[in-house]
Amino acid sequence: MSKRPYVICLMMTSLDGKILGEKWGKDDRVQLLTKSFEEAHDAIGMKAWIVGRATMEKDFTKFARPVYKEGALQINRADFIATREAKSFAIAIDGNAKLGWESSIMLGDHVISILTEAVEDSYLAHLQEVGVSYIFAGATTVNLQMALEKLKTLFGIETLMLEGGGRINGSFLNEGLIDEFNQLLLPLADGRVETSSVFEIAEKDRKLDATLFKLESMKQIENDVIWLKYKTIERV
């Protein structure tokens, strides 16, 4: 039995593999296409989803600044589990504590923040006050394997939906932590050189040349969107 959750990466992309939907404008036809993402998320039915700090602050916390509780005492670096009884979880990888949380609930899901031990006590004190769970996964940089093992052990998360951005997806891929990839291929092209793609790995951090996948299913859904499902088979 695996020590970590089964990880499914779900992303919507343009035909050229770009992922930042806000760059595609406000045209009603584009907005209709991007709705396929939430529909696919709901169809897969995940109990827990995880994103990187940049995606969380852009799409969910709306760039809220971190809050520090005044007069906070020294806090040991033990994981803080506000609840184990939540039906679903929204998880953020935020090693440097840059996210501002005003509530422990995001879209109806209990928030878990993945941190490093380098964060300030006053930040931890605020998370405890508002009821945000947090786990530590490294001294100064996040160890993804450790984080995933804790999510399974402490919260009973057996399956996890990874939803970007490109650097976080790339980090999971680089560490061999993606078991399945679901791609919603939208019938539009981005064409921007600077737009992020699905997986991004800095060359200095690269541990492999490529990851091989096997196509499990392919279907056309509404509005000419193609849903591709792959299983990871080998790293080379």
CA 163 to chain CA centroid, nearest Å? 5
Q: β-pairing, 89-93 with 109-115?
A: parallel
Would you list the DSSP string of 87-146?
A: S-EEEEE-TT-----S-SEETTEEEEEEE-TTS-HHHHHHHHHHT-EEEE--SSS--HHH
Q: What is the rounded distance in angstroms from the CA atom of residue 86 to the CA atom of residue 168? A: 25
In CATH, what class is 1-47+158-236? alpha beta
Q: What is the rounded distance in angstroms from the CA atom of residue 210 to the CA atom of residue 159? A: 24
- pTM value is 0.95
CB atoms within 10 A of CB 210: 9
Query: Which helix (DSSP H) or strand (DSSP E) does residue 154 occupy?
Result: helix 144-155
> For the purposes of burial, counting CB atoms within 10 Å of the CB of 120, is it exposed (0-12), middle (13-18) or buried (19 or more)?
middle
Over its length of 236 residues, how does the chain's per-residue pLDDT go in tens digits?
Answer: 789 999 999 999 999 999 977 889 999 999 999 999 999 999 999 899 999 999 999 999 999 999 999 888 899 999 999 998 899 999 999 999 999 999 999 999 999 999 999 999 999 999 999 999 999 999 999 999 999 999 999 999 999 999 999 999 999 999 999 999 999 999 999 999 999 999 999 999 999 999 999 999 999 999 999 999 999 999 99
- At 77 the pLDDT is 96
Domain(s) labelled CATH 3.40.430.10 in the chain stretch across 1-47+158-236
